[in-house]
Amino acid sequence: MTKVENSFSEKKVAYYFDADFSYLEQLVPKENTVLITDENVFQLQQQKFEGWKTIVIKAGEEHKQQATADYIINQLIKFEADRKTFVVGIGGGVVTDITGYAASVYMRGLKFGFVPTTILAMVDASIGGKNGVDVGVYKNLVGLIKQPEFLLFDYSMLKTLPDEQWVNGFAEIIKHACIKEAALFSVLEKFTLHDFKTDDTLLAELIERNVTIKTTVVVADEFEQGDRKLLNFGHTIGHAIENMHQLLHGHAISIGMVLACNLSQQLNGLNVDETKKIVQLLAKYHLPVKVETDYQKVFEILKMDKKRDKHAMNFILLNKIGEAVIKPVELDALHQHLKEIL
């Protein structure tokens, strides 16, 4: 196990890489800790929850709603949780998002930590302190930025991960390569999904490399006033189509990245060969690159995106693989571009 501490605005957050789930007992007081997980993780890892107070929620993005947060809060009341109670979210991005949110608002804030159990949660969702819920088709419309006390990475939890969730997580890894690290893009071109699934050392290196990329961005701009917005590459359109078409997050972001590349060609001079390389890499990792949709409905949802600034959308575009920029796009112009590319 390797411990790394990262300094955010209000606290240091400890990352425990290649740790065993059992180490959780060294981090939190078992008698005054509540674990939150979803029904899938609970069923697959039930023995790990023995002896712990546990709240089990329904699995899936469709349940990342205020009603589920209310359920968690009511269960915390039943457990007589007080301000010294510790809450730990164990699961994928939905679980970590809603755990951080519920813990942050219950009694005006409990300490919490995460044990991410999916590729996507390990490299993206659990990192950076964004916690919240969806409101209908609007992704993450309600929430707050508050850092966990720790992240515990138990790679053995990935052994029960379904194939579609491996694919789902690699969308965020490819995103990191596109916006920040061309060398990582080359690594992903060299290896295959099968390589990472079957080589524990290769996988651990990949996860820790991506955790470092995202953490470095967030530490420099925790409250998303500048460069943290780059992490939204593929997410502006991706979020709009995710709940609209009931897509997995990574699938929606993959399609969103392709569309963002098309916009980058039109508005930012991205070379078409760069777009082709990105599309090929996404396809190589079994991610979708297109969807049949209604551009007008996408635009109506997209208008409520958090990156909107009055009459323009702060869109994340590529200069080249490994280098992204934030570019305001007037909504009227964006509407026309969506009509052309969707």
The CATH number of whichever domain residue 14 belongs to comes to: 3.40.50.1970
Quote the pTM value.
Answer: 0.96
Looking at the fold, whether 183 and 152 belong to one and the same domain comes out as no
**DSSP state for residue 64 in the 8-state scheme:** -
Flag whether pLDDT at 47 surpasses 90: yes
pLDDT at 342: 87
Q: What is the pLDDT of residue 227?
A: 95
Where are the extended beta strands (E) located within the chain? 2-7, 12-17, 33-38, 53-57, 86-91, 111-116, 130-135, 138-145, 150-152, 308-309, 312-320, 323-330
Mean pLDDT along residues 128-133: 98
> Are residue 239 and residue 332 in the same domain, yes or no?
yes
Write phi, then psi, for 148 (nearest 5 degrees).
-70, 170
**Element containing residue 183 per DSSP (H, E):** helix 182-190
Residues whose CB is less than 8 angstroms from the CB of residue 321 and which lie 6 or more positions away in sequence, other chains included: 177, 178, 182, 185, 274, 277, 278
Whether 149 is in a domain gets the answer: yes
In a domain, 305, yes or no: yes
3-class DSSP assignment, residue 53: strand
Asked if residue 321 and residue 279 are part of one domain, the reply reads yes
Residues above pLDDT 70, as percent of the chain: 100
Domain CATH for 321 = 1.20.1090.10
> Per-residue pLDDT tens for 2-33?
999 999 999 999 999 999 999 999 999 999 99
Are 234 and 119 found together in one domain?
Answer: no
The pLDDT of residue 124 is above 90: yes
Distance between the two ends of the chain, CA-based, in angstroms? 46
Q: Quote the CA–CA distance of 341 and 263 in Å, as a whole number.
A: 8
Residue 169 lies in a domain: no
Q: Quote the number of domains for the chain.
A: 2
* The pLDDT of residue 307 is above 90: no
> Where is the domain boundary, 160, 194, 216?
160
In this structure, are 185 and 285 located in the same domain? yes
- pLDDT at residue 229, rounded to an integer: 96
Residue 43 lies in a domain: yes
- Model pLDDT for residues 133-176, shown as the tens digit of each residue: 999 999 999 999 999 999 999 999 999 999 999 999 999 999 99
190 and 156, same structural domain? no
> 55 in helix, strand or coil?
strand
**Which residue's structure tokens are 């060969």?**
273
One domain for residues 49 and 84: yes
- Asked if pLDDT for residue 310 goes beyond 90, the answer is no
Same domain as 250, residue 119 = no
Residue 309 confidence (pLDDT) above 90: no
Find the domain containing 267 and state its range.
Answer: 178-341
Assess whether 216 and 120 both reside in one domain. no
Q: What is the pLDDT of residues 192-241, one digit of tens each?
A: 999 999 999 999 999 999 999 999 999 999 999 999 999 999 999 999 99
Would you place residue 243 in the very low, low, confident or very high pLDDT band (cuts 50, 70, 90)? confident
Q: 141 phi and psi, to 5 degrees?
A: -75, -25
Q: Is residue 274 part of a domain?
A: yes
Q: Give the list of residues 6+ apart from residue 16 with CB closer than 8 angstroms, or none.
A: 1, 2, 3, 23, 27, 150, 151, 152, 153
pLDDT attached to residue 221? 97
Which pLDDT score, from 0 to 100, does residue 27 have?
98
